[in-house]
Amino acid sequence: MISQILTAIGAMIFGVAVCAAYFLFSNKLLDLIFPAKEGGDVHRAAVNLRRRSLIRPWLFLGPALFLLAVYLMYPVVATLILSFYGPDGNQFVGGANYVWAFNDTEFRQSIFNNILWLAVVPAACTFFGLVIAVMTDRIWWGNIAKAVIFMPMAISFVGASVIWKFIYEYRGGNDTQIGLLNAVVQLFGGTPEVWITIPFWNNFFLMVMLIWIQTGFAMVILSAALRGIPEETIEAAVIDGANGWQIFWKIMVPQVWGTIATVWTTITILVLKVFDIVLTMTNGQWNTMVLANLMFNWLFRGGGDSGRSAVIALVIMVAVTPIMIWNIRRANAEMKGR
Amino acid sequence: MKKLLLMTVAVAALAAGSALAADLKFQPGQDSKFNWKSYDDFKAAHADLKGETMTIFGPWRGEDEALFTSVLNYFTEATGVNAKYSSSENYEQQIVIDTQAGSPPNVAILPQPGLLANLASKGYLTPLGDDLANWVKTNYGAGDSWVGYGTYKGKDGKDAFYAFPYKADLKSLVWYVPENFEEAGYKVPTTMEDLIKLSDQIVKDGGTPWCIGLGSGGATGWPATDWVEDLMLRTVSPKDYDGWVDNSLKFNDPKVVNAIDEFGKFAKNAKYVNGGVAAVASTDFRDSPKGLFTVPPKCYLHKQASFIPSFFPEGTKLGQDADFFYFPPYASHPELGKPVLGAGTLATITKDSKAARAFIEFLQTPIAQEVWMAQSGFLTPYKGVNTAAYANDTLRKEGEILTTATTFRFDGSDLMPGKIGAGAFWTGMVDFVGGKSAQDSADAIQKAWDSIK
């Protein structure tokens, strides 16, 4: 333990020192190669200065670019290569893993479930987040309400799963139902159900958990955006006789549209990576499998198959990429506007 | 800062000191039913390991982890090795992650020969040597079978002995509460036909015969595979069973579909199971036997392996408050005799070291087995242990089945490729109990099997 802490501290000091040394020495080296005073030759000196300012940013960016390449590009390329190899990554199998994927019922089930998640969760989170942000703005206990709604954000996905397991808990026969949902159902005279085993609908019971967690995030961001709307536009609308509904849709929403898009896409990317909830609640059984869990199962269960899991990983990456590109482009466009 | 550092060092030293003086459950030399000579001999032979560290990864959690630690304490005490045990709910995945990431434990103890064979084929296991294999062969009941379960093809394609069997489970058991049987006037059945008759009788008397729970977190469904395996052994020949395990007999063969349907007769009969069919898949297997002990009983019968008393209510006396009978064969299949289904955990070296080797040697000593035997939930096919050490007659009865066995069949799902035995088979059984037909479930499992060939 002690030695580990000391190693960590040592590594930190060493890392910072190496970084500082890199910047100092590379700068010095640049100055040496392109000196500012070339024996009184003003023209050469000016050229040197220009060259230096051209190279310097790349020098500073260099380590970051290198690390990005190592940590982002290399894994992508390695995964792509693995996807053409057999279970242990030694035997070339061509496109067999891809053929398998599109013929596998479990894979298709996962794609279908992922699309369900994508259709429901980001929309629901953004909608609830926006509605709550608007409503809590007008009431005196709005901040308390916001704090409560934001709280699930602080809980880990696995922690949330444990909480929701007790909400969906089912006890057989004449036992007292300890699950909240079944207790409520029983109170109104219904028959208790094993919620997480009902095919198709169980997907929605899992989605509710993510909506519960993420609505707070959407609410906080959107509420900040709503605060940014100039009072005058709303006052003008009121004077013109707009009702609350019109103010919301015609004045507020268009002005925070950019933020809505950001929140939506952020949650979309999160949903594509959903894993913990499914693992802890059903582990993909009862037709709730999603891509991330399928990939994990193929990679690690029963000895593992790196080829097939690589295919699934690539599918997830391909699905996330367009959303990320769109997000970055939009952010860039907004930056240019300023 | 220096003071703080010194203080931390002192605390760490204290903690390390107390770990070395681990409390031993039974004091060496005190109880004659234990083979203390084996402990002393082992201690004398491994005095040179003091200060080494090793990590052990195993499937035991909760109650079982405490029991295993009580055994491990003797190893620590004898050698001075600082041994750390860890486990994971998803140990099947965790061990693959650890080995592939290049940071395996020194010793991995796993209940799945199929998974171990897979790890061996990738070169992650260290062979234990032919001497040990021969030792197992001569000292274990049905030794040949056990050597077979520990022998796999390595990365070089050659067979070698990789896994030492330590701790066995007996699966063909039905648990009941003798008192409840007496009160209701039920008799222990000796044929499957009688067992079904008894179940019907219990229903007629207004009770529920069975508690069945398939829930097990990410491994939900495995208890059902035990049912199907036991029913396979009771409806088809052992040869067919072996064929089923290596898929030379297809999973959707009528023989297998029939066994799944036989299981359905119990699990998919709302009158037979506590809580109705819906509760079967969602009830955790660890909670499931508790229904035996309620007043009035929620169920009278519970089919589960020998480890289950670990999950009985605290203070349950085996043989008195709870007992077992052998899951009976069909009278209509007299040619199959009395087959026994079992399983066990196998210890392998995933990162070679002197301490790891010493630990495998330690598991060979009678004392390493007797300490656990004397508590609960431990059976061994090792003939060199003193059966008087078993905590009660129930365990002794089970242990004797193992040591006197000439041959017995290992849990089929643990022998199948991991993707099937620890995947498609589970999901298939969950789907089957959830409403799918036996044929459709079997077809889906066979399809999954075809896809990994």
Q: Measuring CA to CA, which residue among B84, B77, B81, B100 is closest to residue B25?
A: B77
For residue B234, what are its two tokens? Answer: 């009771």
Tokens 């020098």, located at residue: A59
A282: closest CA of chain B, how far (Å): 7
- In A, minimum Cα distance to B101 occurs at A300
Q: Using CB atoms, which residue from A175, A194, A299 is nearest to B282?
A: A194
Cα B301 from chain centroid (whole Å): 20
Write out the two tokens for B210: 């069975």
Average pLDDT over residues A116-127: 95
The amino acid that residue A5 corresponds to is I
A126: left (phi > 0), else alpha (psi -120 to 50), else beta? Answer: alpha
- H and E: helices and strands count for chain B: 20, 11
Whole-number pLDDT of residue B407: 63
Residue B157 has pLDDT above 50, yes or no: yes
Q: Among A2, A283, A296, A311, which would you mutate to test the B interface (most chain B Cβ atoms within 10 Å of its Cβ)?
A: A283
Alpha-carbon gap, residue B133 to B383, rounded angstroms: 15
Among A2, A100, A303, the residue with its CB nearest the CB of B115 is: A303
The H-or-E segment that residue B368 falls in is: helix B366-373
CA angle A300, A302, A308 (to 5 degrees): 55
C-alpha distance from A170 to closest chain B C-alpha (Å): 7
Side-chain-facing half-sphere of A199: CA atoms under 13 Å: 11
pLDDT computed for residue B20 by the predictor? 43
Q: Which two tokens stand for residue B295?
A: 């007043």
Residue-level pLDDT at B406: 62
Partnered with residue B83 across adjacent β-strands are: B54
Question: Of residues B204 and A90, which shows the higher confidence score?
Answer: B204
**Closest to B369 (Cα-Cα) out of B348, B390, B396, B350:** B390
Q: Using CB atoms within 10 A of its CB, is residue A269 exposed (0-12), middle (13-18) or buried (19+)?
A: middle
Which residues, numbered 64 to 103 in chain A, qualify as contacts with chain B under a Cβ-Cβ cut-off of 8 Å?
87-88, 100
Beta strands B53-58 and B107-110: pairing type? parallel
Mean pLDDT of chain B: 88
Q: What is the CA radius of gyration of chain A?
A: 27
B168 forms bridges with which residues in the sheet? B344, B379
Q: Are B118 and B361 in contact, with CB atoms under 8 Å apart? A: no
Q: How many residues in chain B?
A: 453
Q: For B33-49, what is each residue's pLDDT tens digit? A: 899 999 999 999 988 88
Secondary structure class of B140 (helix, strand, coil): strand
Answer for the pair A222, A256: CB distance below 8 angstroms, yes or no.
Answer: yes
Question: What SS3 class is residue A243?
Answer: coil
Residue B333 DSSP symbol: -
Q: How far is CA A269 from CA A112, A121, B185, in A?
A: 16, 11, 63
Q: Is the dihedral of CA B414, B420, B422, B428 positive or negative?
A: negative
- C-alpha B116/C-alpha B96 separation (Å) is 10
Whole-angstrom Cα distance, residue A65 to residue A48?
25
Tell me which chain A residue has its CA closest to the CA of residue B427: A285
- Work out the burial of residue B259: count CB atoms within 10 Å of its CB; fewer than 13 is exposed, 13-18 middle, 19 or more buried: buried
| Residue of A181, A182, A194 for testing the chain B interface, max B β-carbons within 10 Å | A194
- Give the pair of three-digit tokens for residue B96: 């693959």
**Cβ-based contacts of A173 with chain B (< 8 Å):** 208, 274-276, 279, 298
d(CA B364, CA B350): 18
Which of residues 264 through 283 in chain A touch B, CB cutoff 8 A? 279-280, 282-283
Mean pLDDT of A189-198: 86
Over residues B68-85, the pLDDT tens digits come to: 999 999 999 999 999 999
**What six digits make up the tokens of A140?**
């005196």
Which of B170, B171, B125, B169 minimizes the C-alpha distance to B150? B125
Question: Which tokens is A151 given?
Answer: 């709280």
Name the nearest CA neighbour of A164 among A154, A155, A173. Answer: A155
* Mean pLDDT over each residue of chain A, to the nearest integer: 89
Gap between the Cα atoms of A168 and A181, Å rounded: 6
Pairwise CB contact (< 8 Å): A105 & B97: no
pLDDT band of B186, cuts 50, 70, 90: very high
Place of tokens 């009976």: B328
Residue B19 has pLDDT above 50, yes or no: no
By Cβ distance, the residue of B92, B298, B423 closest to A173 is B298
- Locate the chain A residue with the closest alpha carbon to B97: A300
Q: Which two tokens stand for residue A23?
A: 């910047």
Q: Give the end-to-end CA distance of chain B in Å, rounded to a whole number.
A: 61
Query: CA torsion sign, B243 to B245 to B246 to B247?
Result: positive
Q: Do A302 and B423 touch (CB under 8 A)?
A: yes
> How buried is B245 (Cβ within 10 angstroms: 0-12 exposed, 13-18 middle, 19+ buried)?
buried
pLDDT at position B289 over 80: yes
pLDDT digits (tens, 9 = 90+) for B122-145: 899 999 999 999 999 999 888 888
For B108-126, give the secondary structure using H, E and C.
EEECCHHHHHHHHHCCCCE
Residues of chain B found within 8 Å of residue A286, distances taken between Cβ atoms: 281, 430-431, 434
Please tell me the distance from the alpha carbon of residue B150 to that of residue B144, in angstroms, as a whole number: 10
Question: Cβ neighbours of residue B245 under 8 Å, at least 6 residues apart?
Answer: B412, B415, B416
Q: Within 10 A of A161 (CB to CB), how many other CB atoms are there?
A: 19
Residue type, A131: V
pLDDT for res B13: 46
Cβ contact B42:B362 at 8 Å? yes
d(CA B318, CA B395): 8
Residue B208 phi, psi dihedral angles, 5° rounding: -115, 125
Tokens (6 digits) for A72: 């982002």
pLDDT band, very low/low/confident/very high, at B393 (cuts 50, 70, 90): confident
Rounded to 5 degrees, what are φ and ψ at B444? -65, -40
CA distance B96 to chain A (A): 6
Average pLDDT over residues A307-323: 93
Tens digits of residue pLDDT in B200-240: 999 999 999 999 999 887 788 999 999 999 999 999 988 89
- Which residues in B lie closer than 8 A to residue A106 (C-beta atoms)? 448
Residue-level pLDDT at B262: 95
Q: Is there a contact between B94 and B57 (Cβ–Cβ < 8 Å)?
A: yes
What would the pLDDT profile of A227-266 be if each residue is shown by its tens digit? 889 989 989 999 999 888 898 889 899 999 989 999 999 9
